[in-house]
Amino acid sequence: MIDILVCFIGASLLLYVLLGGSDFGAGIIELLPAGRLREAQKEVINHAMGPVWEANHMWLILIVVILFMGFPTIFTTLMIALHLPMLALLVGIVVRGAAFTFRHYDAVQEKRSQRIYTVLFGLSSLWTSLWLGIIAASLNRGIIDPAAREVWTAWFAPWWGVYPLAVGLFVVCIYAFLASIYLVGETEQPDLKKRFLRLAGWFNGLVVLAGGLVFVASTTERESLPSAFLKNPLNLAVIALATLLFVALWFFVAKRRTMLTRIVASGQVALILLGWYVLYAPNALITARGPLSFYTEAAPPATLWQLVLALLIGSLFIFPSIFYLFRVFKLPGGAKH
Amino acid sequence: MDDLVAARATMAFSLGFHIIFAAIGMTMPFLMSVAHFLYLKKKDPVYLGLTKLWMKGVAILFAVGAVSGTVLSFELGLLWPGFMQYAGPIIGMPFSWEGTAFFLEAIAIGLFLYGWDRMSPWVHWTTGLLVGVTGFVSGIFVVAANGWMNAPAGFDWVNGVAQNVDPVKAMFNRAWPHQSLHMQLAALQAVGCAVGGIHAWLYLRGVASDLNLKALRIAMVIGASASILQPFAGHIAGESVAELQPAKLAAMEGHFKTSRHAALTVGGLPDVETQTMKWGVELPGLLSLLAHRDLNAEVIGLDKYPREDWPPVLIVHVAFQVMVAIGSAMALMGVLYFWFVRRGKFPRWFLWVVVACAPLGVVAIEAGWVVTEVGRQPWIIYGLVRTKDAVTPVPGMVYHFGLFVVLYLCLAVATVWLLRRQFRTVQQKFGG
Ligand code: HDD
Ligand code: HEM
Ligand code: HEM
């Protein structure tokens, strides 16, 4: 049963990063100068994100609900130790959702207010992605101390440092990369297509750079990533595969196979997450007092049972509806009336 | 402000903010679907204009509801880890069903908002209706979690630890039926009448008369019916509270001394020091009758509880009076509404009454939640866990509170500003 729940958490996180992440990435892209393409780019992003962003955002809520129902100790430990980053995340989520919707539905579309929405949307996307990375990096540093009550050690030390920051930057680059790749297929305008491709190239380079930075920064940690990786050959294989896929990616880009490029880029991100799971599984958190594993911290079986049941029955409704949503809006020729 | 008070204030503020948008999200889609249905049937472009107008409202308000709801799901852990530690596994179930319903809602709203020329008209109409249905269902589920805090069930409490957890029993706790009935009606009533009131006002000012009259009728059928039913649902809630949480009932009524043939006090201010009610009108025996269906039944007073287990009597009593006063006034308005519908014409003064009622339902919702939540104090899980034992150890909660007050105030101002811009464009489009 716990296995099923862990799979659900993993899958939700993956889908959140791929789908929700690309929505954040779109906001980050809008921060960059676009010259005369600015308005056209805004339209494309409005139409690409509009129908799906609320659904994409729900994966995060699903994770929160599974955690607090199924793994209450993990949830409460996180929410106490990472109170400040969580708060930062929430502020970002609120501002981003509001700015994006307001921009589209403002009855009076004038330059100044539209500009304000766009800047807020972009900055909050950047901000939220950064904190998401910082939170992810803080889970396994072995610094969270559930018993600490001294202000610095309890509420700052768990997420402070160059390593979480590097992971945050990495997440920002990945999101922007995913968004550029996905956006190529959202427009028919040749110069916009070209712009998104160029951005994808830039962010591809940045992802590699930021990834390297994460490795270097991790040497300041208790256990650096290189040494952890060397212990685990599976991990090396996963990361090597992710890097190799860049070749496939740009091959498909050159052949203009939109769908395949999207799949390969998603596959790369999935592999990076997989590498992360492999590195720490089955632990959800590594605290200063030892790891908290999904298998030891689970709720009573009666609860887990109900949770699994709810998730499975929910999936019966949710997956077909999501499929329909994406078919209507994302597949060429899908259900046009 | 100490950390406990700040945490409570934060929770109250963020829930009080969210509930407005949640109520809108549970009701507006239905109004919109009715207008859309009429358009598809009659092909009258006014109904299409109305559908699109309401749709834009739904889109804006839904987004605010979604982000403020996300904040809440984190805040359960950020503010009350000591509560979620026990409660998560026990009451997670309604939240997981609520989550499923939200997911479908988020998908349906994407399909509806952007699907105008991508689906056949009736499939598209169905997605709009589904937004309402899923929102309504999720509201019912989430209230089950709150009902459990008032009437804990589904576990054994052994030495301060929950054992033999049964999430199904917890979800079907005894406060759920009356609370969700009352809350769902409240959403229909408050939002129906608020929308009706706004259109009545535009109509009175001579803006787009045809559109606004049609809008008024759709909104008020729902709002006025719910207003008439609400006092009955409220009465059922009162009877259940008398049984499940006598201390809350005593605080609501300012009933200090346990007695038979207890009087109902209308208005008045309770004085906790002297344990008396000041300036109220007493109706002998009525409280016994309402709470226990017997003029001579005994009604438990606050004297049966140690002082530290009393909820803040003044707040609970005043909030209750406000809710009941509004409930009675709006029920009257609802009856008048249907009377004038049968006569076939609304006099202008009555439309002004409808305008006056527009904000009242929302005030009653806030007051009702104050009764429920403050009336439960000092317990976070009634009779078992005290609120002060559940609060987060994180210091400086007052900054957390301040941050959210500022953030939400900005959001509220922006939302109101946007909605006003919507209405101004209606005037331009549909004439004055
Ligand atoms: C439009 C809103 C509205 C209106 C007009 C009323 N209520 Fe209400 N009331 C609510 C909206 C509400 C609510 C916000 O929906 C609450 C809060 C929690 C709940 O379950 O419902 C509530 C709670 C609530 C409770 C506490 C339930 C509990 O703690 O379990 C009682 C006893 C009543 N109400 C009774 C009444 C009575 C006798 C009314 C007479 C007209 C009335 N309400 C009108
Ligand atoms: C499922 C729904 C709800 C849950 C799980 C919930 C949970 C909580 C919790 C954990 C607290 C803090 C502990 C306490 O002070 O008692 C609280 C307080 C409070 N909540 Fe609720 N609540 C719910 C619905 C609502 C709604 C919709 C409102 C709307 C206004 C509301 C109003 C309040 C208020 C006013 C307080 C502060 C009470 C005080 O002054 O101590 N609650 N609630
Ligand atoms: C602690 C209590 C609560 C939590 C944790 C919570 C959580 C949430 C979340 C996460 C969302 C966003 C869903 C999305 O993205 O679509 C949301 C929206 C919503 N919530 Fe709440 N909620 C709470 C209280 C309530 C209450 C008391 C009600 C109603 C009785 C309610 C009704 C709704 C509705 C109808 C929506 C849909 C969004 C909208 O239409 O604006 N919620 N809530």
Task: Please spell the DSSP secondary structure of B43-73, one letter per residue.
Answer: --HHHHHHHHHHHHHHHHHHHHHHHHHHHHH
Residue A12 has which token pair?
A: 């939700």
CB contact at 8 A, B23 and B365: yes
Q: Which of B56, B99, B108 sits opposite A61 (nearest CB)?
A: B99
Those residues with Cβ within 8 angstroms of residue B399's Cβ, 6 or more apart along the chain or in another chain:
none
Beta bridge partners of B278: B269
Q: Per the domain annotation, does B273 fall within a domain?
A: no
B150 lines ligand 1 (CB under 6 A): yes
Q: Per the domain annotation, does B291 fall within a domain?
A: no
pLDDT at A336: 40
Q: Tell me the backbone φ, ψ of residue B271, rounded to 5 degrees.
A: -110, 110
Could you tell me whether strands B259-260 and B161-163 are parallel, antiparallel, or unpaired per DSSP bridges?
unpaired
Please, what is the average pLDDT of chain B? 86
| Residue B276 confidence (pLDDT) above 80 | no
Q: Which of B85, B100, B110 sits opposite A72 (nearest CB)?
A: B85
Scanning A270-329 for CB atoms below 8 A from B yields: 299-300, 302-303, 306-307, 310-311, 313-314, 317-318, 321-322, 324-325, 328-329
Q: Which is more confident, B226 or B2?
A: B226
DSSP state of A148: -
pLDDT at B113: 85
Beta bridge partners of B270: B277
pLDDT at A334: 43
Residue A177 has which token pair?
A: 């990369």
3-state SS class at A308: helix
Please compute Rg for chain B using Cα positions. Answer: 23
Query: Which of B207, B200, B136 minimizes the C-alpha distance to B358?
Result: B200
The set of protein residues with a Cβ atom below 6 angstroms from ligand 3 is: A 54, 57-58, 61; B 18-19, 21-22, 25-26, 62, 65-66, 69-70, 72-73, 76, 102, 105-106, 135, 138-139, 142-143, 183
User: Helices in chain A by DSSP H: which ranges?
Assistant: 2-15, 21-31, 38-49, 53-70, 72-81, 83-105, 111-138, 151, 162-184, 190-217, 225-231, 233-254, 258-280, 301-330
The set of protein residues with a Cβ atom below 6 angstroms from ligand 2 is: B 8, 11-12, 15-16, 19, 80, 83, 142-143, 145-146, 366, 369-370, 373-374, 376-377, 380, 387
Distance CA B248, CA B312 (A): 10
Q: Ligand 3, atom 14: nearest CA belongs to which residue? A: B66
Average pLDDT value for residue range B377-393: 83
Residue with tokens 């499975």: A312
In terms of C-beta density within 10 A (0-12 exposed, 13-18 middle, 19 or more buried), how is residue A280 classed?
Answer: middle
From the CA of A302, how many Å to the nearest CA of chain B?
A: 6
Average pLDDT value for residue range B320-330: 93
Quickly state the pLDDT bin for B431 (edges 50, 70, 90).
Answer: low
Read off the pLDDT of residues B394-420 as tens digits, 9 standing for 90 and up.
787 888 888 889 998 998 998 888 888
Q: Ligand 1, atom 1: nearest CA belongs to which residue? A: B186
**Out of A236-240, B187-191, B217-221, B360-364, least confident range:** A236-240
In terms of C-beta density within 10 A (0-12 exposed, 13-18 middle, 19 or more buried), how is residue B55 classed?
Answer: buried
Distance CA B172, CA B177 (A): 8
3-state SS class at B283: strand
Q: Which of B59, B77, B392 sits opposite A105 (nearest CB)?
A: B59
Distance CA A58, CA A253 (A): 30
Query: Which of A283, A206, A278, A208 minimizes the C-alpha distance to A236?
Result: A278
B364 lines ligand 1 (CB under 6 A): yes
Residue B235 has which token pair?
A: 């009465």
Domains identified in chain B, total number:
1
From the CA of B362, how many Å to the nearest CA of chain A?
A: 22
Identity of residue A296: T
pLDDT at B430: 67
DSSP state of A152: I
Choose the mutation target among A8, A45, A73, A79 for the interface with B, i.e. most B CBs under 10 Å.
A79
Report DSSP letters for A164-179, one per residue. Answer: HHHHHHHHHHHHHHHH
Taking the centre of ligand 1 as the mean of its atom positions, its distance from the CA of residue B323, in whole angstroms, is 7
Q: Which is more confident, B89 or A95?
A: A95
CB contact at 8 A, A279 and A232: yes
Q: Per the domain annotation, does B68 fall within a domain?
A: yes
User: Using the beta-carbon criterion (under 8 Å), do B394 and A314 form an inter-chain contact?
Assistant: no
pLDDT at A337: 38
Question: How many other CB atoms sit within 10 Å of the CB of residue A312?
Answer: 11
Distance CA B181, CA B159 (A): 35
Residue B236 has which token pair?
A: 């059922």
Kindly indicate whether the ipTM for this predicted assembly is greater than 0.90, answering yes or no: no
Distance CA B168, CA A99 (A): 39
Q: Provide the domain limits for residue B348.
A: 3-160+174-258+300-430
| Residue B17 confidence (pLDDT) above 60 | yes
Q: Per the domain annotation, does B276 fall within a domain?
A: no
Q: Per the domain annotation, does B75 fall within a domain?
A: yes
Scanning A141-160 for CB atoms below 8 A from B yields: 149, 151, 154-155
Query: Which of B419, B42, B6, B259 minimizes the C-alpha distance to A101?
Result: B419
Pairs across A and B, CB distance < 8 A:
212
**What does each of the 337 residues of chain A score in pLDDT, given as a tens digit?**
888 888 888 889 998 988 888 889 989 988 888 778 788 888 888 888 888 888 888 889 899 989 888 888 888 888 888 889 999 999 999 999 999 888 888 877 788 888 888 899 999 999 999 999 999 988 888 778 877 777 777 788 888 888 899 999 999 999 999 898 888 888 888 888 888 888 888 888 898 899 888 888 888 777 777 777 777 778 888 888 888 888 777 777 777 777 888 888 888 888 888 888 887 777 777 777 777 888 887 788 888 888 888 888 888 888 888 888 888 877 654 444 3
User: Using the beta-carbon criterion (under 8 Å), do A337 and B118 form an inter-chain contact?
Assistant: yes
Helix (H) or strand (E) holding A285: strand A283-287
Could you tell me how many residues make up chain B? 432
DSSP state of A17: I
Residue with tokens 């009856």: B335
Q: Alpha-carbon dihedral of residues A245, A246, A249, A251, nearest 10 degrees?
A: -110
CA distances from A115 to A109, A112, A120, B269, B413 (A): 10, 5, 9, 52, 18
- Per 3-state DSSP, chain B is made up of helix, strand and coil in percentages (nearest 5) of 75, 5, 20
**Which chain A residues are within 8 Å of B84, Cβ to Cβ?**
68, 72, 75-76, 79
CB contact at 8 A, A96 and A121: yes
Query: Which of A187, A184, A178 minimizes the C-alpha distance to A197?
Result: A184
Extended beta strands in B293-360, E state: 298-299
Residue with tokens 């359960």: B76
From the CA of A117, how many Å to the nearest CA of chain B?
A: 11
Query: Which of B70, B59, B66 minimizes the C-alpha distance to B109?
Result: B59
Q: Per the domain annotation, does B269 fall within a domain?
A: no
Residue A215 has which token pair?
A: 């490795």
Ligand 1 pocket test target in B18, B253, B266, B371 with most atoms within 8 Å of CB: B371
Q: Per the domain annotation, does B275 fall within a domain?
A: no
Residue B47 has which token pair?
A: 């109904």
Exposed e or buried b for every residue in B78-100, given b needs 16+ CB within 10 A?
Answer: bbbbbbbbbbbbbbbbbbbbbbb
CB contact at 8 A, A72 and B85: yes
Residue with tokens 């009429």: B38
Residue with tokens 């039913």: B229
Those residues with Cβ within 8 angstroms of residue A5's Cβ, 6 or more apart along the chain or in another chain:
A66, A70, A71, A294, A298, A304, A307, A308, A311
Distance CA B220, CA B356 (A): 14
Beta bridge partners of A283: A293
Read off the pLDDT of residues B297-315 as tens digits, 9 standing for 90 and up.
777 777 778 877 888 888 9
| Residue B335 confidence (pLDDT) above 90 | yes
Residue B306 has which token pair?
A: 């140690």
Residue A30 has which token pair?
A: 């809008």
pLDDT at B169: 80
CB contact at 8 A, A163 and A214: yes
Q: Ligand 2, atom 16: nearest CA belongs to which residue? A: B380
Report DSSP letters for A198-261, one per residue. Answer: HHHHHHHHHHHHHHHHHHHHGGGSSS-HHHHHHH-HHHHHHHHHHHHHHHHHHHHHHTT-HHHH
Beta bridge partners of B299: B259
DSSP state of B293: S
